[in-house]
Structure 1
Amino acid sequence: MELVFIRHGQGEHTLDLPESLHTSDPALTDEGIIQAKTLKRQFPLSQSDVIIISPIRRTLQTAQIWSEGIKCQKIVSPLVSPRMFPQKTEGQTLPCDEILTKGVIKDHFTDFHLEEELSNEWWSKGINKLPEREFKIIAEFFLKWCRHFGNKRIYIVSHDGTITSYRQLITGVELTRNDFPKETGFLKVNC
Structure 2
Amino acid sequence: MKIIFIRHGQGEHTLSPPESLQMSDATLTEKGVQQAQQLKQTFPLTNKNIIIISPTRRTIETALIWAKEISCTLYVHPLVSPRMFPLLAPDQAYACDHILHYTKIKTDYPSLHNIESSEEIWTNGINTISEEAFHRVAKAFTIWCKQLNQHTLYIVSHDGTINAYRSFLGESVTRDHFLDESGSYIVHL
TM range (shorter): over 0.9
Farther off after superposition, 151-160 or 181-190: 151-160
Q: Which runs of 5 or more structure 1 residues have no equivalent in the other structure?
A: none
The total of aligned residue pairs comes to: 189
Secondary structure at the counterpart of residue 3 of structure 2: strand
Match in the other structure for 2:52:
52
Secondary structure at the counterpart of residue 45 of structure 1: coil
Match in the other structure for 1:25:
25
- TM-superposed CA distance for 1:174, in Å, is 2.3
Which residue identity is paired with 1:140?
K
| Equivalent pair of 1:24/1:96 in contact (CA under 8 Å) | yes
- 1:1-191 mapped onto 2 (5 Å cutoff): 1-116=1-116, 118-170=117-169, 172-191=170-189
Which residue identity is paired with 2:61?
Q
Q: Which runs of 5 or more structure 2 residues have no equivalent in the other structure?
A: none
CA RMSD of aligned residues (A): 1.1
Farther off after superposition, 130-139 or 27-36: 130-139
Which residue identity is paired with 1:128?
N
| Equivalent pair of 2:2/2:151 in contact (CA under 8 Å) | no
Q: Distance in 2 between matches of 1:72 and 1:4?
A: 15
Which residue identity is paired with 2:126?
I
- TM-superposed CA distance for 1:133, in Å, is 1.1
| Equivalent pair of 1:92/1:129 in contact (CA under 8 Å) | no
Per-residue CA deviation, residues 147-184 of structure 1 (Å, 9 max, x unaligned), is 011134210000000000001111x2321111001100
Which residue identity is paired with 1:183?
E
- TM-superposed CA distance for 1:90, in Å, is 4.8
Q: TM-score scaled by structure 1? A: 0.96
Farther off after superposition, 99-108 or 120-129: 99-108
